Amino acid sequence: MNFQRLVQNLLIGALVGLSGQPGHGQNRSSELNPGGKISEIPTSQTQRSRQSIVSAQIEPVSPQTVTLSELLEEVLRSQPEIRAAQKRFEGSRLRPSLVSSLPDPILSIASNNIGNPIPATTVGEEDMSLVGVSFMQEIPFPGKLQLQGKMAEKEAESYWHEYQDTQLRVISELKQAYYHWHFVHQALAVLQRNFDLLSQFSKIAEARYGVGQGIQQDVLRAQTELSQLARRRVELEQQRDSLVAMINTSLNRPPDSPLGVPAEIPKLELSATLSELYEAVQRQSPRLGKSQAKIEQNTFALNLSRKEYYPDFSVEAGWASRGRLPNMWETRIDVRVPLYFWRKQRYMVRESAQAVEEARHEYDATRQSLLLRVKDDYLMAKASEQLLELYTGTLIPQATLTLESAMASYQVGNLDFLSLLTTFQNVLNYELEYYDQFASFHVALARLEETTGRQVDR
């Protein structure tokens, strides 16, 4: 809002009208308080000194702008958490081949001697003396290795969904921080404009008091409100610095790196309906996909535990030389019998079945949590969208006209300063609330994209 010129005209008119009145050509430096004592009040020079001190806290912002698209490109390229999730997934893709292969065979070289500890010294002289080699291979029951490979494939699929979820979460957190940063930047600009406007109000109140047409309370109220704006400025600057550090950390930069100022954000539109968002959660949410992969992995584990009722095998073949005597050949098959199945395999199957049920319940809990979050963020976006229309369509324009009328009435003495200050505060609060709802709307969209895994704006 551009009130400065209007207020300056009011100030000039007030000063010109007040300076011509007899007996009121100089500033008053004291006033009787209710107890009859004279209390000192700030003179014009003191008031200007206070205003200059408060104004010194208002620092100009950097003109360099940073767009959200630039930050998103950088975070996808350099964010360590995303890179770690990617490498975890790439490593898990190698496991199916490892766990579905046969165990490494065992190659043995043996020597038997009769009457002499030195190997091969009595070969050909004694029937039991020999030097030989053997090969042994363990063979799990058919189907076990295949099930282990499928379990590893589902584990890799789970890590893929985790990688996708990490990307969506980091992007959403960056967007939310950027939107809050944009709000703080706009709020600081609003405070600066209103600080200048209120400084003009303070001058008018001071001029009216100096010629006896105002009261000391009006001057003090103006100074108090200026101090309140300075306080809010300090709080917003602290939020700005924290958000800048958060964004820098997401970009893998030092927290104190300069970032500039956020670019202007065009208002987005929520293009998806609530039913479409629910469907997107069921179809493409990475968190739900990870839970589904866990169910399938545990189902394969249950089938594998049932296979443990069946024996595993090992096959061995060997050859031995006895020198001048005939060579020896050996073949052997070993069977690992699950003899104590009522104490081992039976409970293994039960444990695996419990793991499957646990994964299914976790899936249902995750789905309900995601649907609730979608509902909550959707309602937040819709409410913020309606409030934005209300602020731009009625509240801010009406409050602006009310303030202009109040300033004109105050000039001619038809309105007290407290009412003028209240009207000013309403305009200030409406402007700040508008930018707050603007940020809340876009934050809700970012959270919906993280939850559903799809774009929700246009």
The CATH number of the domain holding residue 295 is: 1.20.1600.10
The percent of residues in the chain predicted with pLDDT above 90, rounded, is: 61
- In this structure, the answer to whether residues 289 and 333 fall within a common structural domain is no
Task: Read off the pTM.
Answer: 0.80
- In this structure, the answer to whether residues 117 and 250 fall within a common structural domain is no
**Residue with structure tokens 């009310």?**
402
| Residue 261 to residue 400: CA distance in whole angstroms | 28
In a domain, 228, yes or no: yes
- In this structure, the answer to whether residues 54 and 84 fall within a common structural domain is yes
- In this structure, the answer to whether residues 253 and 204 fall within a common structural domain is yes
- In this structure, the answer to whether residues 385 and 429 fall within a common structural domain is yes
Name the β-bridge partners of 331.
317
Q: Cα 82 vs. chain centroid, distance in angstroms?
A: 13
Regions of the chain with pLDDT less than 50: 1-3, 7, 15-62
In a domain, 250, yes or no: yes
In a domain, 33, yes or no: no
In a domain, 168, yes or no: yes
In a domain, 457, yes or no: no
> pLDDT digit string (tens) for 237-255?
999 999 999 999 999 999 9
In a domain, 239, yes or no: yes
Q: What is the pLDDT of residue 53?
A: 34
Whole domain around residue 201: which residue ranges?
A: 4-16+40-102+142-308+344-452
Neighbouring CB atoms inside 10 A of 154's CB total 21
Q: What is the pLDDT of residue 36?
A: 33
| Exposed / middle / buried, residue 85 (Cβ in 10 Å: 0-12, 13-18, 19+) | buried
- In this structure, the answer to whether residues 348 and 394 fall within a common structural domain is yes
CB 137 within 8 A of CB 63: no
How many structural domains does the chain have?
2
- In this structure, the answer to whether residues 72 and 54 fall within a common structural domain is yes
- Domain boundary among the residues 340, 361, 388 is at 340
In a domain, 24, yes or no: no
- In this structure, the answer to whether residues 92 and 181 fall within a common structural domain is yes
In a domain, 31, yes or no: no
- In this structure, the answer to whether residues 304 and 320 fall within a common structural domain is no
- In this structure, the answer to whether residues 45 and 111 fall within a common structural domain is no
Q: What is the pLDDT of residue 119?
A: 77
The percent of residues in the chain predicted with pLDDT above 70, rounded, is: 86
Q: Cα 217 vs. chain centroid, distance in angstroms?
A: 47
Cα 128 to Cα 135, 242, 321, 376, distances in angstroms: 20, 83, 10, 83
Cα 316 to Cα 134, 151, 242, 328, 335, distances in angstroms: 7, 29, 68, 14, 12
Q: What is the mean pLDDT of the chain?
A: 85
Q: What is the pLDDT of residue 60?
A: 47
- In this structure, the answer to whether residues 193 and 263 fall within a common structural domain is yes
- In this structure, the answer to whether residues 435 and 378 fall within a common structural domain is yes
